[in-house]
A and B are shown apart, each in its own frame.
Chain A
């Protein structure tokens, strides 16, 4: 069929006019691509570009000065500290939960998975609120904690708890489908050859899931460093003490100090871009991560 058309065209000397009937006309294609690009430009590309443009509006000197400011430095340090505590906690949980769920058949498994997903469907503000109700001065625990001099709210432990809550499902979510796909054959072989449980996990399971694990940790870390709503509710906004980077951005912005706000924001945007780049590389090279959109 196609050959014939090419032959006739070759004789007549006109370009071939064959179009796959199971595909759109070139005009429709162009219109769809244009519509998508305009939409993405307005909602995705321009916001990203504007972060860096606003940050450098008054030159590189002002930009660097905003980042070297003591409150900014302490916000950066606090953000790194919070991520350094909460990501490993959720990493250990993710491994344990995925091991129990993927390697065994037990009753109530589907319900357990739903519970693990719960933080995804809860407003970040409510994630912070639950800890205020639990540890605040009006709560049951509040006066008791106060008598021992333990500070949770408006201090680092509260910020860590709120961050752990919102980033809770990331690692588990990534590992459960991966480990379910891999089944239990490898582990059973290792065990029957005399390996201990820990050896099996360390030499068999971990190498099998390392890229998926890295992927989950990356997403967990990006969210941990960028969380705003939950942390904002429990932090008390004490400058230099309980301000993480996103909270510092808010304070600077509300003080109309736009260059400094966007300078700190640009670091967070850079973190997002590095996360996306690593994620893309992992997907292309190792097929890690399913693209099912639940984050």
Chain B
């Protein structure tokens, strides 16, 4: 295209190639990306910048905003932690053991990706309600799950599970069994082999899965609002507070909360990329 006559040593956008269509496909991709994603997000950031520091901090100073952000990040953290533990166990039994129904379970792990969040939300709210199948099991201990922050954690565990399993599973499949045999011949018992030999190698994948589940959990809306009870200061998540501010036509409030959440999401994205780059250097796989 434009650079076919470029002299070597000169700056060029792309390496020469006989394959056509670079200008057209890249041009279309960039235009579409800008129209759908970049311009709308820039609009949000521009709108938020026009609030000024004082406008921004007055939204942040509101305890309801602080509590909503704390609840969103806190429940997402706990849920991602639960997923990191059980996700690794699920990945382990799928990779290492043969048992009836293994294939089915392997396919079902992706259910939270495919099931619409509103469907998951009403199903979990009904199950974990005091009179539901699972909720009623905990009522003798006076433990309410639905309509409390515990309910939010339940919904986020559901949403985040495939992130951990699908990140850890391929790395587990590539583990060289000889490493474990070497550890065993050197006198390590099975527990030592797992905690000292296998887990360190799996750690980057587990961390990536944890971060992905956490990032998804912070922004999750559909599955949470049905089970949370949505009590301000107690079980009201940040995305819901954005919706409430919008319904009050409080665009400044909605924009400020959204900007904070965006900044934190971008930081998470950066952290995930750093973990993967570090793990590629250290272990040769991402």
Contact = CB atoms under 8 A, between A and B. Distances in A.
Interface of A: 21-25, 28-29, 32-33, 35-36, 39-40, 42-48, 50-51, 54, 93, 96-97, 99-100, 103-107, 112, 114-119, 121-126, 129-134, 136, 138-139, 161, 164-165, 168, 184, 187-188, 191-192, 197, 200-201, 219, 222, 225-229, 232-233, 245-247, 249-250, 253, 258, 261-262, 265, 268-269, 271-273, 275-277, 279-280, 290-295
Given A121-B266, A164-B36, A43 B105 contact: no
B117 A276 contact: no
A114 B269 contact: yes
Interface string B33-72: 1001111110110010000000000000000000000000
B37 A39 contact: no
16 contacts: A22-B177, A23-B96, A39-B86, A100-B21, A103-B22, A106-B22, A112-B29, A115-B33, A121-B268, A187-B19, A226-B117, A262-B122, A262-B123, A265-B119, A272-B116, A276-B114
A294 B69 CA distance: 24
A292 B164 CA distance: 10
B105 A40 contact: yes
A116 to B, nearest CB: 7
Given A33-B93, A115-B33, A226 B119 contact: yes
Interface in B95-114: 96-97, 99, 103, 105, 107-114
A276 B268 contact: no
A100 B29 contact: yes
B118 A93 contact: no
B29 A261 contact: no
B22 A36 contact: no
A186 to B, nearest CB: 11
B37 A115 contact: yes
A258 B125 CA distance: 12
Contacts of A201: 21
B122 A261 contact: yes
B184 interface: yes
B19 A33 contact: no
Contact of A294 (B177, B212, B261): B212
Contacts of B22: 100, 103-104, 106
Classify chain B's interface size.
Answer: 35 or more
B94 to A, nearest CB: 8
B7 interface: no
Contacts of B92: 32
B148 interface: no
B222 A106 contact: no
A169 to B, nearest CB: 9
Given A197-B21, A291-B166, A168 B116 contact: no
Interface of B: 13-15, 17-22, 24-26, 28-30, 32-33, 36-41, 43-44, 47, 86, 89-90, 92-93, 96-97, 99, 103, 105, 107-120, 122-124, 126-127, 133-134, 154, 157-158, 161-167, 169-170, 177, 180-181, 183-185, 190, 193, 209, 212, 215, 218-222, 226, 239-240, 242-243, 246, 249, 251, 254-255, 258, 261-262, 265-266, 268-269, 273
Contact of A222 (B39, B114, B158, B209): B114
Contact of B133 (A46, A139, A192): A46
B47 A133 contact: yes
A96 B166 contact: no
B210 to A, nearest CB: 12
Interface of A is mostly: helix
Given A93-B29, A228-B222, A129 B17 contact: no
The 4 closest A-B pairs by CB, nearest first: A226-B116, A293-B166, A123-B219, A228-B222
Contacts of A100: 21-22, 25-26, 29
A292 B111 contact: no
A97 B43 contact: no
Given A36-B93, A292-B167, A272 B14 contact: no
A23 B97 CA distance: 10
B251 A43 contact: no
Given A119-B37, A124-B219, A184 B113 contact: no
B184 A97 contact: no
A232 B97 CA distance: 43
Given A24-B190, A39-B90, A229 B251 contact: no
Contact of A43 (B38, B103, B158): B158
Contact of A279 (B110, B169, B177, B240): B110
A136 B245 CA distance: 14
B37 A118 contact: yes
A192 B18 contact: yes
A293 B40 contact: no
Interface centre among A35, A44, A117, A197 (most CB of B within 10 A): A44
